[in-house]
Structure 1
Amino acid sequence: MAETPTHQFPTAPLALPAQPDRTGGRAIGVLLVHGFTGSPASMKPWAQALADQGYAVEVPLLPGHGTRWQDLNHVSWTDWCTEAEAAFDRLREDCEAVVVGGLSMGGSVALRLAETRGTQVSGVVLVNPFVSSMRTELHALPVLKHLVPALRGVANDIKKPDQNEHGYDRLPLKGLAEVTAMWKVVVPDLKLVTQPVLYFRSNDDHVIDVSSSPTILHGVASADIEERTLNNSYHVATLDHDAERIFAESAEFVARVTAP
């Protein structure tokens, strides 16, 4: 009998309540979306830092994650967006304003929410978002995904010692093909993103190349957009040396873009 995978902390979703007494009597929400093959563990310190400022925070566990890597070969990118939308709607029920944020592939999901939900999204925070690639081998995915189930994983690209995002040690190729399929929808619609955008990018990233930066910065229609470089972090910057800076500057951003 096959072993039944379980969701155990810290891969489980997180839901932290608003504390309006810390935010001028207003309930403000933040949705944080983890990356491909990762888990909410990569976002937990960030979520807690925002919660400590009084913000309600939701960190959903995206379908196919937190169990076995094989499960990522049986979900679609729309499943990830549906789960994020459900978390977003939970925040909107209790909050006056909601900001969305994402790490890596989670950045694509956050951008899709900004595209489809319009003014319901007050702002977007991105950390090393993954919306494009210059790697030519991705062109082989439509065929390769049927021949090879997975390649060596990309989890824990973190400069700081003793950190763990609790991601998969394999890179499922059918799942990766869903990531690239999402790009074909998200990137052409970037012009629909008019909300303020705060973009953190690591100078030294061993998972994604630099192409996502111009794709987003030149694609969105936001008048309020800023890219900030991280000089002491790798891809999973939310667990790396620059994490405290991300936490502090994103909290300032949330306060600014949700101000009455």
Structure 2
Amino acid sequence: MPSDSANALHKDRLSKVLKRIALGLLVLLVMFLVIRGYQSEQGPPLHRWHTWSADEMSVDEIDRASFADYLTREAAIFHDMKLNVTDQLSDDEKTALNRFNAQSPVYPAQFDTDWNRSYILEPEGEVKGAVVLLHGLTDSPYSMRYLAQAYQQKGFVAVVPRLPGHGTAPGSLTKVDWQMWMAATRLAVREATRLAGSNVPLHLVGYSNGGALAVKYSLDTLQNNALRKPQQLVLLSPMIGVTAYARFAGLAGWPAIIPGFAKAAWLSIIPEYNPFKYNSFPVRAARQSWLLTQAMQDQLLHVIRGGTMPAFPPVLTFQSVMDSTVSTRAVVNGFYRYLPDNGSELVMFDVNQAANLRALFKPVLYSAVNDLLPPAPRRYASIVITNASPTTYQTVARITAADQTQEMVRSMHEAWPQDTYSLSHIAVPFPLSDSLYGREPTEKNRYGISFGTISLRGETASLIVGLDTLMRNTSNPFFDYMMLQIKGRIDCSSQSNLPACFKAL
């Protein structure tokens, strides 16, 4: 047996090794923070819209508030923003495409409807249901307008809240957390129930970060009977999982606590030329989105272990195979694999597989859909929108029903635009005709700019925004098909056997 002195010597050596490792890690962390702080200070300057933040309600205040109270505070926030941002701009900041410049064509307050604000759409006739629609991160209620209008036409009361920190100035996202977004979700459900009654179906629609909120709220209802349970969920590009970088995004903001390094609190500082979406992105927003997805995933596993997952509502999801904002794989493996056999359906938009484009693809994209979906049978139906063949832009829907292995193929009216190689995260909620994002806007520049029609050519490194931003697809060529699927689900709301109704669509 080793002597006591030998053991002591071993422990002493181990202690020294651990101290050296800890010191090395500390040195690396300090170097990272110094480099991060230095790099952040080389970027564009911060402006008033980065340093001003909205005085939003706290979680407790939202939980005690009525929707009218929320709208009153919202009006005060927009008034304060005008006084402290718009009215204080320097001459240099009054550029033609600055959404905070009152003379700019993209200034939101000049439009007939400022879609940055919360709104409610009520049907003219009999109320048949209620729906709460939740927009995405850095986004605004604008992205929910087409779905809200579709629900309204079907007799539903549609409540679309502006989530805290959104619709005002990007600096507002430096002061909010995901619990505030959840509180706003609960408030919107209370208002939808007040307007439509509790005896009609309730749907939740969530886009991106709003998708995570819809799923989290639905999980909450399985553990809290005081919360109104939704009958169905509709998700667009849902944020079930995000990149690993988001997990450690908070580290990138640490240098901001040091005077002179305030810009380190931002992952990107970009001119604000979009009237209904932020371009600049703070570290805190990335961190909060990751915390939300972690809380949702932890709760999902807890619900599964508790045996209440069979009561989770049916889900209809639309997801692009190519998505640089959220994890498509997480939608499949981190969410759909756990859903009960209740009529849920996953619609995936493949890349444009036309042969003349394939040479430009990374090889992994050819079979991305097959790699993502587990082998059939599955407890949910899957629909893959893809090319009818490698020689055509025409598309088909490859349908595999729940609990089946045989695939059905249906021809579609929609075709891929010849200059489009995939959808994107941000394209899913918008038709080609959208005036802001559509490639075929019905009223070009209605909101001061039409992103879907921008086609610039020139030398690299000349623009203040990256080419990826301008080349990103911003509208959905399969939007009509998507809406047809959603409307079918709405029509099934009055049926007692939802899975049977869905199957008959």
Give the shorter-chain TM-score range.
0.7 to 0.9
What is the aligned counterpart of 1:209 among 304, 321, 327?
327
Q: Structure 2-normalised TM-score?
A: 0.45
Q: What one-letter code is carried by the residue in structure 1 that aligns with 2:483? A: F
Residues 42, 165 of structure 1: alpha-carbon distance in 2 compared, 3 angstrom cutoff: farther
Is 1:123 equivalent to 2:239 in the alignment?
A: no
Largest Rg, 1 or 2: 2
Runs of 5+ consecutive residues of structure 2 not aligned to the other structure = 1-47, 53-78, 83-107, 223-227, 256-263, 351-421, 431-474, 497-505
Identical aligned pairs, as a percentage?
A: 20
What is the aligned counterpart of 1:50 among 148, 151, 176?
151
State the distance in 1 between where 2:150 and 2:201 align: 18
Q: What one-letter code is carried by the residue in structure 1 that aligns with 2:164? A: P
Residues 233, 49 of structure 1: alpha-carbon distance in 2 compared, 3 angstrom cutoff: farther
**Equivalence for 1:107:** 211
Residues 222, 189 of structure 1: alpha-carbon distance in 2 compared, 3 angstrom cutoff: farther
- Structure (1/2) with the larger strand percentage: 1
State the distance in 1 between where 2:423 and 2:143 align: 14
| Secondary structure in structure 1 of the residue aligned to 2:80 | coil
Residues 150, 211 of structure 1: alpha-carbon distance in 2 compared, 3 angstrom cutoff: farther
CA contact (8 A) 1:101 1:126 kept: yes
CA contact (8 A) 2:320 2:328 kept: no
Is 1:143 equivalent to 2:251 in the alignment?
A: yes
Residues 35, 109 of structure 1: alpha-carbon distance in 2 compared, 3 angstrom cutoff: same
State the distance in 2 between where 1:203 and 1:183 align: 19
Q: Deviations over 1:22-61 (max 9, x none)?
A: xxxx520111100000001111122112212222111110
State the distance in 2 between where 1:152 and 1:228 align: 32
CA contact (8 A) 1:42 1:165 kept: no
Q: Deviations over 1:157-209 (max 9, x none)?
A: xxxxxxx6821011111122111111222112234461111011112323223
| Secondary structure in structure 2 of the residue aligned to 1:38 | coil
CA contact (8 A) 2:248 2:287 kept: no
- Superposition pairs for residues 243-254 of structure 1, below 5 Å? 243-254=479-490
- Superposition pairs for residues 34-183 of structure 1, below 5 Å? 34-93=135-194, 94-95=196-197, 96-118=200-222, 120-133=229-242, 135-147=243-255, 148-152=264-268, 166-183=276-293
What is the aligned counterpart of 1:255 among 471, 491, 496?
491
Range moving further from structure 2, 104-113 or 5-14: 5-14
Q: Deviations over 1:93-128 (max 9, x none)?
A: 224121001000100100111112247210111111
Q: How many residues align?
A: 246
State the distance in 2 between where 1:222 and 1:39 align: 33
Is 1:5 equivalent to 2:124 in the alignment?
A: no
State the distance in 1 between where 2:490 and 2:124 align: 14
Is 1:185 equivalent to 2:303 in the alignment?
A: no
State the distance in 2 between where 1:127 and 1:207 align: 12
| Secondary structure in structure 1 of the residue aligned to 2:347 | strand
State the distance in 2 between where 1:68 and 1:174 align: 14
Is 1:225 equivalent to 2:301 in the alignment?
A: no
State the distance in 2 between where 1:65 and 1:179 align: 14
Range moving further from structure 2, 97-106 or 174-183: 174-183
Q: Deviations over 1:205-230 (max 9, x none)?
A: 23223232121112334532110123
CA contact (8 A) 1:38 1:165 kept: no
**Equivalence for 1:15:** 120
CA contact (8 A) 2:250 2:283 kept: no
| Secondary structure in structure 1 of the residue aligned to 2:298 | coil
State the distance in 2 between where 1:141 and 1:60 align: 27
| Secondary structure in structure 1 of the residue aligned to 2:328 | coil
State the distance in 1 between where 2:157 and 2:148 align: 9
CA contact (8 A) 1:39 1:165 kept: no
State the distance in 2 between where 1:222 and 1:59 align: 29
Q: What one-letter code is carried by the residue in structure 1 that aligns with 2:490? A: V
**Equivalence for 1:238:** 429
Residues 88, 200 of structure 1: alpha-carbon distance in 2 compared, 3 angstrom cutoff: same
Runs of 5+ consecutive residues of structure 1 not aligned to the other structure = 155-163
Task: State the structure with bigger RCO (CA 8 A, min sep 6), 1 or 2.
Answer: 1
| Secondary structure in structure 1 of the residue aligned to 2:267 | strand
Q: Deviations over 1:211-253 (max 9, x none)?
A: 3212111233453211012356321210122333332211211
Q: What one-letter code is carried by the residue in structure 1 that aligns with 2:249? A: L
| Secondary structure in structure 2 of the residue aligned to 1:199 | strand
Q: Alpha-carbon deviation of 1:258?
A: 4.2
Q: Alpha-carbon deviation of 1:145?
A: 2.8
Q: Alpha-carbon deviation of 1:141?
A: 1.7
Q: What one-letter code is carried by the residue in structure 1 that aligns with 2:425? A: H
State the distance in 1 between where 2:201 and 2:162 align: 22
Residues 202, 258 of structure 1: alpha-carbon distance in 2 compared, 3 angstrom cutoff: farther
| Secondary structure in structure 2 of the residue aligned to 1:121 | coil
Residues 136, 114 of structure 1: alpha-carbon distance in 2 compared, 3 angstrom cutoff: closer
State the distance in 2 between where 1:66 and 1:44 align: 14
